[in-house]
Chains A and B, each alone.
Chain A
Amino acid sequence: MPTLKEMSHRPERLTGGHRLCAGCGASIAVRQVLQGTTEDVVVGCATGCLEVATTIYPFTAWKTPFIHNAFENSAATISGVESAFRTLQRKGKIPMSKDVKFVAWGGDGGTYDIGIQSLSGALERGHNMVYVCYDNEAYMNTGIQRSSATPLCASTNTAPAGSCSVGKAQFRKDLTMVVAAHHIPYAAQASIGFWNDLVKKAEKAFAVEGPAFLLVLAPCPRGWGFPNDKAVEIGKLAVDTCFWPLYEVENGVFRLTRKVPDAKKKPVEEWLRSQTRFSHLFKPGCEGWVEKIQKHTDEEWARYLEMDGKKIF
């Protein structure tokens, strides 16, 4: 694992001049994940904030080869690129000594929902690629609509809090486990709040033979409702409240990579109060939801503690 100083010598693969919002978690995720390898990378990206803002014709912020195809097919598209790589190497058109890393990006929309088929297929086929989901917990590029990654009670524009609605009525989908159940060599959950943990995981993901998956929490100032300078801090709070456990599943063995000690564990209420998408929970008429979320968080955390170190797949 290189130090930040060592990493600072490496060329930036994503330039400034892209048009993501000031303080966006997604580009932080990109810069940190791509520190996981020094090899050439080919980047695929689903339609969404990241793709749209980094490639407004005639500009591209990518210094790597980059392909955007459509919204739901980042994994399938990179499957094709990776397959081409193998053939071209076999035919001698690309030297066998050349190592290229294939990484497909998608937001939670393009990964959990419309993109899940494409992701599942690519994982099942065993392509040598990394899939990274930058999870901002809603369809953000189209203006904050709920996805299956949206947490319980979050207010979005298609499931807004209102007099007869508490916001999203379902807990978020546990995608990392769904992915791990594909029996791929490496799947991990990370957060931009902990770059060290994230880069370590990215390194493992890129080093693995076969498919690897990273789910990276990428807080969104616009969609979650917090000041521009707080994305990394919120990314830490998510972990410290155990709302967003940091873990990896390596060859089927589950391991928490940050075991938040009980003493340091922050109440989920702090997490909820930090973002206006949950502000309705603290108004009259919404009693009981914070407790429900705390209970669920505690139960999940206890379950993860129980699983820690065990072979689950």
Chain B
Amino acid sequence: MLSAPVKTIRMALTGNDAGAEAMRQIDPDVAAVFPITPQTELMHAFAAFVANGKVSTELVTVESEHSAMSATVGASAAGARAMTATSANGLALMWEIVYIAASLRLPIVMPVINRALSGPINIHCDHSDMMGCRDSGWIQIYSENSQEEYDNIIQAVRIAEHPDVLLPVMVGSDGFIISHAMEVVDIYPDEDVKKFVGDYNPKYGLLTGKDPMTVGPLDLQDYYMEHKRQQAEAMKNARKVILEVGKEFGSKFGRTYGYFDTYKLEDAEYGMVAIGSTAGTAKVTVDRMREKGEKVGLLKLRVFRPFPGAELVHALKHLKGLTVLDRSDSFGAEGGPLFNELRASFNEETHKPLIRNFIYGLGGRDINLEDLENLFRKTMDMVKTGEGAGSSQYYGARGDE
């Protein structure tokens, strides 16, 4: 039980409700809403807050996700705090504007309730949606559970709006597994959250600026690269800001956040890296295996963009064997995105673990305690025999064994 400096209210909430609660307390100036399973109920809950005067948000009931992000961009460029939420194909539909939001340096915060990209159409959890956007210039933060979703959305506002950053942030949480499951969540007092996110007074705004400005000009070959270089710099600055905000959040609300969490990893010989709810399951597996004397540990990655390569290497390099779990594939790449980026971070290290990759859980395919123990055993086998080192395989698709 954490000792929170503020008086928390313990509530039983679904992930979507927790997300809506965070939005209620943030009280954005403008929010755009368009449904897509499994995000839908998050904005339903928020729309009810709007309808009952619990927030002062202007809710724009747009006719597609492309327009959701377009209207959010318009509102943010105007100088207002603007948010929207989506999943999977909704994110895919707004993909064009997602890139534009980042290039316009708009501090939009968007919960993404992670769901598989079509096709075939599938409404269940995997990370292909947010992973598909990893080049877009958005900061990407993943949540393990409802508490983290709630906490991450609140922190995201501060990260995004930081003058050294000014980049949009997507906060992922697993579709259905978290969004629709009831968990215990500590909700902080409205006043404290309001104070933490602060008032939004942007330097630039179509409506709030002193002088008229032009947003979104045409760049020719002579300036596009410089504008992109600025985005890269902002991402670099975000590394520090994410930690600062996570630390401040901890001092105010009792839970400190960084790039990742480790669980029984320091003295582990065999490790697993995972993103999202699977990390929660894996912690139980770690406990069970530790009871049997197995030296296993877990790293739960929270921040994927910017990618904390150096810090990950520092936390993982002592391991003999490491399994990276990817809940999405990059077809044709030799492994999933997390595996490839982590593996690349290890490239210059002389002392590094053997690493292998499993693509799992696509389209909501379940992964349970036995599966995770199985994967730890495969990690041990890899260290013992070298089998599978550097490889990427699908785990759980019928027909492979």
Contacts and interface: CB of A to CB of B under 8 A. Distances in A.
A55 B214 contact: yes
Interface stretch (B60-68, B115-123, B169-177, B298-306): B60-68
Contacts of B208: 88, 93-94
Given A80-B72, A84-B74, A70 B97 contact: yes
B79 A84 contact: yes
Contact of B217 (A63, A68, A81): A68
B62 to A, nearest CB: 6
A121 B63 contact: yes
A66 B30 contact: no
Assign chain B's interface to a size class: 35 or more
A20 interface: no
A61 to B, nearest CB: 9
Interface string B97-114: 100100000000000000
A82 B78 CA distance: 9
A81 B205 CA distance: 10
Contacts, number: 158
A176 to B, nearest CB: 20
A80 B206 contact: no
Interface stretch (B218-226, B254-262, B282-290, B322-330): B218-226
A104 to B, nearest CB: 9
Interface string A40-74: 00101000000110011111101111111110110
A199 B38 CA distance: 48
A87 B30 contact: yes
A211 to B, nearest CB: 14
Contacts of A87: 29-30, 56-58, 80
Contacts of A83: 30, 58, 60, 71, 74-75, 80
Q: Which of A44, A62, A77, A79 has the most CB of B within 10 A?
A: A77
B189 to A, nearest CB: 21
B179 interface: no
Contacts of A68: 214-217
A90 interface: yes
B223 A58 contact: yes
A79 B209 contact: no
Contacts of B57: 87
Contacts of A90: 56
Interface in B65-95: 66-67, 70-80, 82
A309 to B, nearest CB: 33
Given A73-B97, A87-B30, A117 B74 contact: no
A217 B77 CA distance: 30
B80 A88 contact: yes
A57 B74 contact: no
A120 interface: yes
A172 interface: no
Contacts of B96: 70
B67 A118 contact: yes
Contacts of A72: 66
A80 B78 contact: yes
Nearest to A83: B58
A76 interface: yes
A132 interface: no
A290 interface: no
A66 B60 contact: no
A124 interface: yes
Contacts of B219: 57
Nearest to A47: B218
B32 interface: yes
Contact of A70 (B70, B76, B79, B207): B70
B213 interface: yes
B218 A121 contact: no
B212 interface: yes
Contact of A85 (B60, B82, B207, B213): B207
Q: Which of B67, B71, B79, B217 has the most CB of A within 10 A?
A: B71
B29 A88 contact: yes
A69 B74 contact: yes
Contacts of B78: 42, 80-81, 84-85, 88
Nearest to A73: B70
Contacts of A121: 62-64, 67
Contact of B206 (A55, A56, A65, A120): A65
5 contacts: A52-B218, A67-B206, A73-B97, A77-B70, A78-B74
Rank and list the top 7 A-B pairs by shortest CB-CB distance, nearest first.
A80-B74, A121-B63, A80-B71, A84-B80, A68-B216, A76-B70, A84-B78
Given A67-B77, A79-B71, A117-B66, 4 more contacts: A69-B74, A73-B66, A80-B60, A94-B208
